[in-house]
Amino acid sequence: MSKIPAQVAEFLAARRIAIAGVSRDPRQPANLIYRKLRDSGHEVLAVNPNASKVEGSPSYSDLRSIPQPVEALMIATHPNVAPQIVRQCVDLGIPQVWFHRSFGQGSVSEEALHCCKQNRIDCIVGGCPMMYCDPVDFGHLCMKWMLRLSNRVPG
């Protein structure tokens, strides 16, 4: 991996990462992140309440349905869903959450961020792992550069 902020490095050091928002549509951002993390050696677990299988692997209806402990969570859902997902992290003791966001609001919810802060969950707001996992594609290099100018990504 290229030089990355400590908080991102800690998140990416997790072996088992769940991704909320993986879709049956393989073109969605959560699916791209899912494949990138999987191809980078992580055990990734898809969370989608409306699908039993995505990306050729089982999908779980919520975090509680995952049979093994999860070390970190990527949220790539509508922001209205984020607080409910963070509350599951609190209940399950998941210590790290990354809220996907590029130019719009992304998955960021003030209520979810407040819940993370209250419960000492380390959270990353903005960007995505595709900006940090080598090899980083040209599009994500450009997005990371542009989003850094507006302080919308870590580091």
pTM of the model: 0.90
pLDDT value of position 1: 42
Domain count, the chain: 1
Output the domain CATH number for residue 85.
3.40.50.720
155: pLDDT strictly greater than 80: no
What is the per-residue pLDDT across 75-86, written as a single tens digit (0 to 9) for each?
999 999 999 999
Alpha helices in the chain (DSSP H): 6-12, 29-39, 82-92, 110-118, 138-149
Distance CA 140, CA 135 (A): 10
> CA geometry: angle at 87 spanning 84 and 93, to 5°?
145
CB atoms within 10 A of CB 64: 9
Reported as a single tens digit per residue, the pLDDT across 89-135 is: 999 999 999 999 877 778 899 999 999 999 999 999 988 988 888 88
Q: Is residue 1 part of a domain?
A: no
Instruction: Reply yes or no on whether the pLDDT at 154 is more than 90.
Output: no
Residue 46: inside a domain, yes or no?
yes
Whether 154 is in a domain gets the answer: no
